[in-house]
Protein backbone atom coordinates (compact mmCIF):
# COMPACT_ATOMS: atom_id res chain seq x y z
CA UNK A 1 0.00 0.00 0.00
CA UNK A 2 1.37 3.41 -0.96
CA UNK A 3 1.96 6.01 1.75
CA UNK A 4 1.89 8.83 -0.80
CA UNK A 5 -1.12 11.12 -0.49
CA UNK A 6 -3.54 10.88 -3.40
CA UNK A 7 -5.18 13.87 -5.07
CA UNK A 8 -8.75 13.37 -6.31
CA UNK A 9 -10.39 15.95 -8.54
CA UNK A 10 -12.99 18.12 -6.81
CA UNK A 11 -13.29 20.80 -9.51
CA UNK A 12 -11.86 20.08 -12.94
CA UNK A 13 -9.86 22.54 -15.01
CA UNK A 14 -12.93 23.01 -17.23
CA UNK A 15 -15.15 23.82 -14.24
CA UNK A 16 -12.49 26.21 -12.96
CA UNK A 17 -12.30 28.01 -16.30
CA UNK A 18 -16.07 28.42 -16.40
CA UNK A 19 -16.00 29.83 -12.87
CA UNK A 20 -13.08 32.17 -13.59
CA UNK A 21 -14.95 33.55 -16.61
CA UNK A 22 -18.07 34.06 -14.48
CA UNK A 23 -16.12 35.92 -11.81
CA UNK A 24 -14.35 38.01 -14.45
CA UNK A 25 -17.69 39.03 -15.93
CA UNK A 26 -18.94 40.19 -12.51
CA UNK A 27 -15.71 42.09 -11.83
CA UNK A 28 -15.74 43.68 -15.28
CA UNK A 29 -19.27 44.93 -14.76
CA UNK A 30 -18.30 46.62 -11.48
CA UNK A 31 -14.82 47.93 -12.26
CA UNK A 32 -14.78 48.93 -15.91
CA UNK A 33 -13.54 52.54 -16.15
CA UNK A 34 -12.13 52.50 -12.61
CA UNK A 35 -8.56 51.32 -13.31
CA UNK A 36 -8.47 49.00 -10.28
CA UNK A 37 -5.45 47.49 -8.59
CA UNK A 38 -5.74 43.72 -8.30
CA UNK A 39 -3.71 42.56 -5.33
CA UNK A 40 -2.81 38.88 -5.26
CA UNK A 41 -1.79 37.14 -2.06
CA UNK A 42 1.24 34.93 -2.61
CA UNK A 43 1.80 32.27 -3.08
CA UNK A 44 -1.57 30.58 -3.44
CA UNK A 45 -3.30 33.11 -5.70
CA UNK A 46 -0.74 33.23 -8.50
CA UNK A 47 -2.51 30.84 -10.89
CA UNK A 48 -5.99 32.23 -10.27
CA UNK A 49 -4.74 35.79 -10.76
CA UNK A 50 -3.00 34.90 -14.00
CA UNK A 51 -6.12 33.27 -15.45
CA UNK A 52 -8.58 35.87 -14.13
CA UNK A 53 -6.88 38.91 -15.63
CA UNK A 54 -6.87 37.32 -19.08
CA UNK A 55 -10.64 37.80 -19.08
CA UNK A 56 -10.52 41.38 -17.75
CA UNK A 57 -10.09 43.34 -20.95
CA UNK A 58 -9.92 46.84 -19.54
CA UNK A 59 -7.12 48.89 -17.92
CA UNK A 60 -6.02 47.59 -14.54
CA UNK A 61 -2.84 47.05 -12.57
CA UNK A 62 -1.64 44.06 -10.62
CA UNK A 63 0.43 43.82 -7.48
CA UNK A 64 1.32 41.02 -5.10
CA UNK A 65 1.77 40.83 -1.39
CA UNK A 66 3.26 37.85 0.36
CA UNK A 67 1.92 36.84 3.71
CA UNK A 68 2.97 33.97 5.84
CA UNK A 69 1.58 32.17 8.81
CA UNK A 70 4.19 30.64 11.04
CA UNK A 71 4.85 26.97 10.54
CA UNK A 72 4.08 24.68 7.63
CA UNK A 73 1.54 21.96 7.12
CA UNK A 74 -2.21 21.71 7.01
CA UNK A 75 -3.55 24.84 8.64
CA UNK A 76 -2.59 28.39 9.54
CA UNK A 77 -1.21 29.06 13.00
CA UNK A 78 -3.05 32.33 13.40
CA UNK A 79 0.07 34.48 13.52
CA UNK A 80 0.27 36.31 10.22
CA UNK A 81 3.17 38.42 9.02
CA UNK A 82 3.88 40.40 5.86
CA UNK A 83 6.87 38.80 4.16
CA UNK A 84 6.83 40.97 1.04
CA UNK A 85 4.89 44.20 1.26
CA UNK A 86 3.35 46.64 -1.20
CA UNK A 87 5.71 48.49 -3.51
CA UNK A 88 3.37 51.37 -4.30
CA UNK A 89 0.73 53.41 -2.54
CA UNK A 90 -2.86 52.17 -2.55
CA UNK A 91 -4.26 55.45 -1.22
CA UNK A 92 -7.38 56.41 -3.20
CA UNK A 93 -7.08 53.28 -5.38
CA UNK A 94 -9.86 50.79 -6.02
CA UNK A 95 -8.24 47.67 -4.60
CA UNK A 96 -9.51 44.17 -5.30
CA UNK A 97 -7.77 41.48 -3.27
CA UNK A 98 -7.39 38.14 -5.04
CA UNK A 99 -7.25 35.08 -2.78
CA UNK A 100 -7.19 31.37 -3.53
CA UNK A 101 -8.94 30.22 -0.37
CA UNK A 102 -10.57 31.67 2.72
CA UNK A 103 -10.37 29.09 5.50
CA UNK A 104 -10.41 30.32 9.11
CA UNK A 105 -10.48 33.88 7.77
CA UNK A 106 -7.47 34.90 9.89
CA UNK A 107 -5.20 35.69 6.93
CA UNK A 108 -7.68 37.78 4.97
CA UNK A 109 -8.98 39.58 8.06
CA UNK A 110 -5.43 40.58 8.92
CA UNK A 111 -4.78 41.74 5.35
CA UNK A 112 -8.01 43.70 4.90
CA UNK A 113 -7.35 45.49 8.18
CA UNK A 114 -3.76 46.21 7.10
CA UNK A 115 -4.91 47.57 3.72
CA UNK A 116 -7.83 49.61 5.06
CA UNK A 117 -5.40 51.65 7.15
CA UNK A 118 -3.74 52.75 3.91
CA UNK A 119 -6.98 54.48 2.85
CA UNK A 120 -7.89 52.92 -0.50
CA UNK A 121 -10.91 54.39 -2.32
CA UNK A 122 -12.52 50.97 -2.13
CA UNK A 123 -11.49 47.54 -0.92
CA UNK A 124 -13.12 44.31 -2.02
CA UNK A 125 -12.29 40.62 -1.97
CA UNK A 126 -12.44 37.98 -4.68
CA UNK A 127 -11.82 34.42 -3.47
CA UNK A 128 -11.84 31.39 -5.72
CA UNK A 129 -12.71 29.01 -2.89
CA UNK A 130 -14.32 29.27 0.53
CA UNK A 131 -13.98 26.62 3.23
CA UNK A 132 -16.83 28.24 5.10
CA UNK A 133 -17.25 25.54 7.74
CA UNK A 134 -13.84 26.44 9.21
CA UNK A 135 -14.45 30.15 9.64
CA UNK A 136 -13.27 31.74 12.90
CA UNK A 137 -13.69 35.38 11.85
CA UNK A 138 -16.58 36.64 9.69
CA UNK A 139 -15.40 37.62 6.20
CA UNK A 140 -17.38 39.25 3.40
CA UNK A 141 -16.38 37.72 0.07
CA UNK A 142 -17.57 40.08 -2.67
CA UNK A 143 -16.81 37.69 -5.54
CA UNK A 144 -16.84 34.01 -4.61
CA UNK A 145 -16.15 30.98 -6.75
CA UNK A 146 -16.56 27.59 -5.10
CA UNK A 147 -17.55 26.60 -1.59
CA UNK A 148 -15.34 23.64 -0.64
CA UNK A 149 -15.79 20.94 1.99
CA UNK A 150 -13.72 20.72 5.16
CA UNK A 151 -11.09 18.53 3.52
CA UNK A 152 -7.55 19.23 2.50
CA UNK A 153 -7.68 21.05 -0.85
CA UNK A 154 -4.70 21.28 -3.21
CA UNK A 155 -3.96 22.24 -6.80
CA UNK A 156 -4.45 25.34 -8.93
CA UNK A 157 -2.03 27.23 -6.65
CA UNK A 158 -3.02 25.57 -3.37
CA UNK A 159 -0.36 23.52 -1.65
CA UNK A 160 0.29 20.85 0.88
CA UNK A 161 3.73 21.48 2.36
CA UNK A 162 4.58 23.44 -0.82
CA UNK A 163 3.64 20.54 -3.10
CA UNK A 164 0.74 20.14 -5.56
CA UNK A 165 0.46 23.85 -6.48
CA UNK A 166 1.02 22.90 -10.11
CA UNK A 167 -2.00 20.62 -10.46
CA UNK A 168 -4.37 22.16 -13.04
CA UNK A 169 -7.47 20.91 -11.19
CA UNK A 170 -8.65 21.65 -7.65
CA UNK A 171 -8.27 18.38 -5.76
CA UNK A 172 -8.97 16.81 -2.40
CA UNK A 173 -5.87 15.29 -0.86
CA UNK A 174 -6.41 12.02 0.91
CA UNK A 175 -4.02 9.96 3.00
CA UNK A 176 -1.68 12.85 3.74
CA UNK A 177 -1.76 12.63 7.49
C1 LIG B 1 -3.29 29.93 2.59
C2 LIG B 1 -4.22 30.58 1.58
C3 LIG B 1 -4.77 31.74 2.33
C4 LIG B 1 -4.78 31.27 3.77
C5 LIG B 1 -6.18 30.93 4.17
O6 LIG B 1 -2.07 30.58 2.57
O7 LIG B 1 -3.51 30.97 0.43
O8 LIG B 1 -3.96 32.90 2.19
O9 LIG B 1 -3.94 30.10 3.84
O10 LIG B 1 -6.21 30.43 5.48
P11 LIG B 1 -6.96 31.17 6.68
O12 LIG B 1 -8.28 31.68 6.17
O13 LIG B 1 -7.16 30.04 7.68
O14 LIG B 1 -6.07 32.23 7.21
P15 LIG B 1 -0.75 29.99 3.25
O16 LIG B 1 -0.50 30.71 4.54
O17 LIG B 1 -0.84 28.50 3.31
O18 LIG B 1 0.36 30.47 2.23
P19 LIG B 1 0.46 30.21 0.64
O20 LIG B 1 -0.55 31.11 -0.05
O21 LIG B 1 1.87 30.59 0.33
O22 LIG B 1 0.17 28.75 0.38
- At 72-82, the pLDDT tens digits run 445 556 688 89
For residues 115 and 108, give the distance between their C-alpha atoms in angstroms, rounded to a whole number: 10
The torsion angle over the Cα atoms of residues 165, 166, 169 and 172, rounded to 10 degrees, is: -40
Q: How many Å lie between the centroid of ligand 1 and the Cα of residue 108?
A: 9
Listed as ranges, residues in the chain with pLDDT below 50 are 71-73
Instruction: Name the residue with the closest Cα to ligand 1, atom 10.
Output: 103
| pLDDT the model gives residue 87 | 87
| pLDDT the model gives residue 4 | 78
| pLDDT the model gives residue 11 | 98
| pLDDT the model gives residue 72 | 45
Instruction: Name the residue with the closest Cα to ligand 1, atom 4.
Output: 107
| pLDDT the model gives residue 81 | 87
Q: Cα dist. 82→42, 68, 71, 92 in Å?
A: 10, 6, 14, 22
Beta-sheet strand order (sheet of 80-84) = 80-84, 61-69, 37-42, 94-102, 122-130, 143-147
Active site residues: 103
Q: How many Å lie between the centroid of ligand 1 and the Cα of residue 33?
A: 31
Give pairs for 64-69: CB < 8 Å, separation 24+.
Answer: 64/39, 64/40, 65/39, 65/40, 65/41, 65/111, 66/41, 66/42, 67/41, 67/42, 67/107, 67/110, 67/111, 69/106, 69/107
Q: Which residues line ligand 1 (CB under 6 A)?
A: 41-44, 69, 76, 99-108, 159
Q: How many Å lie between the centroid of ligand 1 and the Cα of residue 101?
A: 7
| pLDDT the model gives residue 117 | 96
Amino acid sequence: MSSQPQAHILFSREEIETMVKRLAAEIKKDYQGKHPLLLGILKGSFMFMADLIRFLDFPLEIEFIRLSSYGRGRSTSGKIKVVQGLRSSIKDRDVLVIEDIVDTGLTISFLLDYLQKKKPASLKLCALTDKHSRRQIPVTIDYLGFTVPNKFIVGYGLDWDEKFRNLPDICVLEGEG
